[in-house]
């Protein structure tokens, strides 16, 4: 009976993703909620209805889900799969301590605090969508992988520093993406994580900015303080409050045409954000260790333990940089 159930779930996953001749980019590491379990994580953007903010409504872990252990003060590899890169765009990486399982589901008032922002070049630097070069983890169409955070016309991978001041314990890691080309959309994938080596103090966490929600459809009316707005075509968004930590991989761009409900708090492209430890305004980017140089996550039951081999992160308030493998 167990075998039949396992096969059924696998076939359901294949059926769900088989039609994706050009599949939207989704996060593959850390593994999102419901990556291979019903209700499956979707390739679709947040639509305010079937796939609501936050996290498409996905947030219930089961035995086959993976929880990633990360260390405060260390970087975590983030990887993606898919082909529909929509010309890249800008991304934010955030953490929430709201527990969707304890609360019986997500609440639209959940707070996602930005720990890292990438302006441009995320999750790819491309003219449009990527060529289909193989099959991804979900039997989805998958594009070529750069193996670094600087390749062109391929899926990039990033090391996202986790500030040392993050609170220890269970948390949710979120990736949000505002695409440059195509419909004005916002994508979000979320993954269960456990933070270690951090603190018990929440004061610095509270000071972090919340993620930008522009392009979230007006049909979702239960997000406190959100005034529906949209970005424009061809725009690499310059986030209004990107936080202290991040990088400018590609210069932000203004929209080709300003929509009537434009997000008025977005700064003009000429205002380049300045991040801690980043001289991006001058065109010099700090180097980051390729994910391929990181130790592969080690499964411990239903938990992945992410073990960095070295720091490889920009200077900033992240705590001591690891220099040896953890245990």
Could you tell me which residues are beta bridge partners of residue 133?
A: none
- What per-residue confidence (pLDDT) applies to 103? 57
Summarize pLDDT for 103-151 with one digit per residue, the tens.
566 677 789 999 999 999 999 999 999 999 999 888 889 999 999 999 9
CA 311-317-322 angle, 5° bins: 20
Q: Say which CATH class 1-327 falls into.
A: mainly beta
How many CB atoms lie under 10 A from the CB of residue 154? 21
Residue listed under structure tokens 């709201």: 98
pLDDT of amino acid 63: 57
For residue 59, what pLDDT is reported? 66
Nearest to residue 290, comparing CAs of 313, 307, 306, 324?
A: 313
**What is the model's pTM?**
0.81
Question: What local confidence, expressed as pLDDT, does residue 142 receive?
Answer: 95
pLDDT at 36: 76
138 secondary structure, DSSP code: T
| pLDDT at 106 (0 to 100) | 66
Angle in degrees, CA 41, 87, 96, rounded to 5: 40
Which residue reads 């695409």 in tokens? Answer: 179
Parts of the chain with a pLDDT under 50? 1-21, 279-301, 306-327
């Amino acid at each position: 009976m167990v075998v039949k159930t396992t096969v059924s779930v696998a076939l359901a996953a294949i059926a769900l993703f088989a039609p994706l001749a050009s599949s939207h980019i989704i996060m593959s590491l850390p593994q999102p909620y419901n990556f291979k379990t019903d209700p499956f994580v979707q390739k679709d953007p947040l639509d305010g209805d079937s796939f609501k903010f936050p996290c498409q409504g996905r947030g219930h872990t089961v035995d086959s889900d993976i929880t990633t252990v990360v260390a405060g003060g260390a970087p975590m590899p983030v990887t993606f799969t898919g082909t529909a890169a929509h010309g890249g765009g800008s991304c934010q990486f955030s953490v929430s301590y709201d527990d969707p399982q304890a609360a019986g589901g997500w609440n639209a008032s959940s707070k996602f605090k930005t720990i890292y922002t990438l302006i441009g070049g995320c999750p790819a630097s491309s003219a449009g969508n990527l060529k289909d070069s193989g099959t991804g983890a979900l039997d989805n169409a998958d594009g070529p992988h750069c193996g670094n955070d600087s390749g062109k016309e391929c899926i990039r991978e990033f090391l996202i520093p986790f500030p040392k001041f993050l609170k220890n314990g269970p948390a949710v890691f979120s990736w949000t993406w505002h695409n440059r080309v195509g419909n004005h959309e916002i994508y979000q994938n979320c993954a269960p994580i456990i933070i270690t080596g951090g603190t018990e103090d929440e004061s610095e966490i509270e000071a972090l900015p919340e993620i930008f929600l522009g392009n979230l459809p007006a049909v979702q009316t239960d997000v406190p303080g959100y005034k529906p707005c949209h970005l424009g075509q061809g725009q690499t968004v310059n986030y209004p409050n990107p936080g202290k930590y991040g990088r400018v991989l590609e210069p932000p761009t203004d929209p080709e045409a300003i929509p009537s409900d434009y997000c008025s708090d977005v700064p003009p492209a000429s205002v380049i954000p300045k991040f801690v430890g980043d001289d991006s305004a001058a065109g010099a980017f700090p180097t980051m260790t390729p994910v391929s140089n990181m130790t592969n996550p080690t499964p411990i039951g239903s938990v992945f333990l992410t073990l960095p081999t070295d720091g490889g992160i920009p200077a900033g308030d992240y705590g001591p940089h690891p220099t040896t493998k953890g245990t």
